[in-house]
Amino acid sequence: MFARLSIAVLCGACSLSAAAQTSAVPPPPVAPTAEVHIRPAHPATEAQIREYFALTHLDQSMKTLMTQMVSTYRATSAPYFPESFWEDMNRTLGSFDFLGKLVPVYQEYISEDDLGTVIAFYKTTAGRHLLEAQPLMMAETQKRFREMGQQLGLEVAMRHKDEIAAAQKKYEEEIAARQNSSKK
Protein backbone atom coordinates (compact mmCIF):
# COMPACT_ATOMS: atom_id res chain seq x y z
CA MET A 1 0.00 0.00 0.00
CA PHE A 2 2.77 2.45 0.94
CA ALA A 3 4.71 1.80 -2.28
CA ARG A 4 1.55 2.22 -4.33
CA LEU A 5 0.72 5.48 -2.55
CA SER A 6 4.24 6.85 -2.99
CA ILE A 7 4.30 6.01 -6.69
CA ALA A 8 0.81 7.42 -7.12
CA VAL A 9 1.80 10.65 -5.38
CA LEU A 10 4.85 11.08 -7.59
CA CYS A 11 2.99 10.19 -10.78
CA GLY A 12 0.13 12.40 -9.74
CA ALA A 13 2.52 15.25 -9.10
CA CYS A 14 3.88 15.00 -12.62
CA SER A 15 0.41 14.65 -14.14
CA LEU A 16 -0.98 17.49 -12.10
CA SER A 17 1.94 19.68 -13.01
CA ALA A 18 1.20 19.14 -16.64
CA ALA A 19 -2.52 19.65 -16.06
CA ALA A 20 -1.94 22.85 -14.14
CA GLN A 21 0.27 24.18 -16.87
CA THR A 22 -2.17 23.14 -19.55
CA SER A 23 -5.04 24.90 -17.82
CA ALA A 24 -2.97 28.04 -17.38
CA VAL A 25 -1.69 28.21 -20.95
CA PRO A 26 -3.06 25.63 -23.37
CA PRO A 27 -0.69 24.64 -26.15
CA PRO A 28 -1.58 25.93 -29.60
CA PRO A 29 -2.89 23.40 -32.11
CA VAL A 30 0.35 23.23 -34.05
CA ALA A 31 1.64 20.04 -35.56
CA PRO A 32 5.10 19.23 -34.14
CA THR A 33 8.00 19.77 -36.49
CA ALA A 34 11.62 18.72 -36.30
CA GLU A 35 12.51 22.31 -35.37
CA VAL A 36 10.41 22.14 -32.21
CA HIS A 37 12.67 19.41 -30.85
CA ILE A 38 15.95 21.20 -31.48
CA ARG A 39 17.31 22.88 -28.37
CA PRO A 40 17.39 26.64 -28.97
CA ALA A 41 20.81 28.23 -29.34
CA HIS A 42 19.89 30.66 -26.57
CA PRO A 43 17.48 28.84 -24.24
CA ALA A 44 15.18 30.76 -21.94
CA THR A 45 16.82 31.71 -18.68
CA GLU A 46 15.72 30.26 -15.36
CA ALA A 47 14.65 33.75 -14.27
CA GLN A 48 12.45 34.11 -17.39
CA ILE A 49 10.90 30.70 -16.87
CA ARG A 50 10.14 31.43 -13.23
CA GLU A 51 8.65 34.80 -14.22
CA TYR A 52 6.48 32.99 -16.77
CA PHE A 53 5.38 30.52 -14.08
CA ALA A 54 4.49 33.42 -11.78
CA LEU A 55 2.56 35.29 -14.50
CA THR A 56 0.57 32.17 -15.38
CA HIS A 57 0.05 31.35 -11.67
CA LEU A 58 1.50 27.89 -12.17
CA ASP A 59 3.07 27.99 -8.72
CA GLN A 60 -0.30 28.56 -7.06
CA SER A 61 -2.00 25.97 -9.27
CA MET A 62 0.62 23.39 -8.29
CA LYS A 63 0.10 24.05 -4.58
CA THR A 64 -3.66 23.76 -4.93
CA LEU A 65 -3.42 20.56 -6.96
CA MET A 66 -0.96 19.01 -4.49
CA THR A 67 -3.28 19.79 -1.59
CA GLN A 68 -6.24 18.29 -3.46
CA MET A 69 -4.22 15.23 -4.43
CA VAL A 70 -3.12 14.52 -0.85
CA SER A 71 -6.69 15.00 0.38
CA THR A 72 -7.95 12.54 -2.22
CA TYR A 73 -5.31 9.94 -1.36
CA ARG A 74 -5.97 10.44 2.34
CA ALA A 75 -9.70 9.90 1.87
CA THR A 76 -9.13 6.67 -0.09
CA SER A 77 -6.16 5.27 1.84
CA ALA A 78 -6.17 2.65 4.53
CA PRO A 79 -7.23 4.17 7.86
CA TYR A 80 -4.09 3.04 9.67
CA PHE A 81 -1.86 5.69 8.08
CA PRO A 82 -0.85 7.89 11.00
CA GLU A 83 -1.46 11.63 11.08
CA SER A 84 2.32 12.15 11.13
CA PHE A 85 2.53 10.52 7.68
CA TRP A 86 0.02 12.97 6.20
CA GLU A 87 1.67 15.93 7.89
CA ASP A 88 5.05 14.84 6.53
CA MET A 89 3.55 14.27 3.05
CA ASN A 90 2.05 17.78 3.01
CA ARG A 91 5.27 19.33 4.32
CA THR A 92 7.45 17.42 1.82
CA LEU A 93 5.28 18.20 -1.18
CA GLY A 94 4.85 21.80 -0.02
CA SER A 95 8.58 22.42 0.17
CA PHE A 96 9.64 20.53 -2.96
CA ASP A 97 10.53 22.75 -5.93
CA PHE A 98 8.47 21.02 -8.62
CA LEU A 99 8.67 24.08 -10.85
CA GLY A 100 12.45 24.10 -10.59
CA LYS A 101 12.43 20.61 -12.06
CA LEU A 102 10.49 21.97 -15.05
CA VAL A 103 13.06 24.68 -15.88
CA PRO A 104 15.30 22.34 -17.96
CA VAL A 105 12.25 21.12 -19.89
CA TYR A 106 11.38 24.67 -20.89
CA GLN A 107 15.00 25.41 -21.75
CA GLU A 108 14.98 22.43 -24.07
CA TYR A 109 12.17 23.91 -26.18
CA ILE A 110 11.86 27.67 -25.65
CA SER A 111 14.37 30.33 -26.60
CA GLU A 112 15.18 33.35 -24.51
CA ASP A 113 13.76 35.63 -27.21
CA ASP A 114 10.52 33.66 -27.61
CA LEU A 115 9.82 33.48 -23.90
CA GLY A 116 10.67 37.18 -23.61
CA THR A 117 7.99 37.88 -26.21
CA VAL A 118 5.47 35.67 -24.39
CA ILE A 119 6.21 37.38 -21.05
CA ALA A 120 5.89 40.81 -22.65
CA PHE A 121 2.50 39.79 -24.06
CA TYR A 122 1.25 38.54 -20.69
CA LYS A 123 2.16 41.90 -19.18
CA THR A 124 -0.10 43.74 -21.67
CA THR A 125 -3.77 44.41 -20.98
CA ALA A 126 -4.74 41.74 -23.53
CA GLY A 127 -2.33 39.22 -21.99
CA ARG A 128 -3.61 39.84 -18.46
CA HIS A 129 -7.17 39.53 -19.72
CA LEU A 130 -6.35 36.23 -21.40
CA LEU A 131 -4.79 34.90 -18.18
CA GLU A 132 -7.89 35.90 -16.21
CA ALA A 133 -10.29 34.46 -18.79
CA GLN A 134 -8.54 31.14 -19.44
CA PRO A 135 -9.70 29.30 -16.30
CA LEU A 136 -13.28 30.38 -17.01
CA MET A 137 -12.98 29.34 -20.66
CA MET A 138 -11.50 25.97 -19.66
CA ALA A 139 -14.31 25.33 -17.17
CA GLU A 140 -16.92 26.20 -19.80
CA THR A 141 -15.14 24.04 -22.38
CA GLN A 142 -15.08 21.06 -20.00
CA LYS A 143 -18.78 21.55 -19.22
CA ARG A 144 -19.70 21.67 -22.90
CA PHE A 145 -17.56 18.64 -23.76
CA ARG A 146 -19.19 16.69 -20.93
CA GLU A 147 -22.67 17.68 -22.16
CA MET A 148 -21.81 16.84 -25.78
CA GLY A 149 -20.31 13.51 -24.72
CA GLN A 150 -23.42 12.61 -22.74
CA GLN A 151 -25.68 13.53 -25.65
CA LEU A 152 -23.61 11.58 -28.17
CA GLY A 153 -23.41 8.61 -25.79
CA LEU A 154 -27.20 8.63 -25.46
CA GLU A 155 -27.60 8.74 -29.23
CA VAL A 156 -25.27 5.76 -29.69
CA ALA A 157 -27.03 3.84 -26.90
CA MET A 158 -30.40 4.47 -28.55
CA ARG A 159 -29.10 3.10 -31.86
CA HIS A 160 -28.02 -0.08 -30.05
CA LYS A 161 -30.86 -0.36 -27.53
CA ASP A 162 -32.17 -3.70 -28.84
CA GLU A 163 -28.67 -5.19 -28.94
CA ILE A 164 -27.95 -3.91 -25.41
CA ALA A 165 -31.27 -5.24 -24.08
CA ALA A 166 -30.54 -8.69 -25.56
CA ALA A 167 -27.03 -8.70 -24.08
CA GLN A 168 -28.38 -7.63 -20.69
CA LYS A 169 -31.01 -10.39 -20.74
CA LYS A 170 -28.38 -13.01 -21.63
CA TYR A 171 -26.04 -11.73 -18.88
CA GLU A 172 -28.79 -11.82 -16.25
CA GLU A 173 -29.77 -15.35 -17.30
CA GLU A 174 -26.15 -16.51 -16.98
CA ILE A 175 -25.85 -14.97 -13.52
CA ALA A 176 -29.12 -16.59 -12.41
CA ALA A 177 -27.96 -19.96 -13.78
CA ARG A 178 -24.66 -19.71 -11.87
CA GLN A 179 -26.45 -18.78 -8.66
CA ASN A 180 -28.84 -21.70 -9.06
CA SER A 181 -25.99 -24.16 -9.73
CA SER A 182 -24.05 -22.94 -6.69
CA LYS A 183 -27.11 -23.56 -4.46
CA LYS A 184 -27.10 -27.26 -5.38
- The rounded distance, in Å, linking the Cα atoms of 152 and 158 is 10
pTM (2 decimals)? 0.61
Mean pLDDT computed over 55-75: 91
pLDDT number for residue 52: 96
Mean pLDDT computed over 156-169: 94
CA distances 46 to 52, 102, 164, Å, are 10, 10, 56
Q: What are the tens digits of pLDDT across the range 70-110?
A: 999 999 999 999 999 999 999 999 899 999 999 999 999 99
> What are the phi and psi torsion angles at 111 (to 5°)?
-85, 160
Q: If phi over 0 gives left and psi between -120 and 50 gives alpha, with beta otherwise, what is residue 57?
A: left
Which is it for the CA torsion 53, 69, 8, 2, positive or negative? Answer: positive
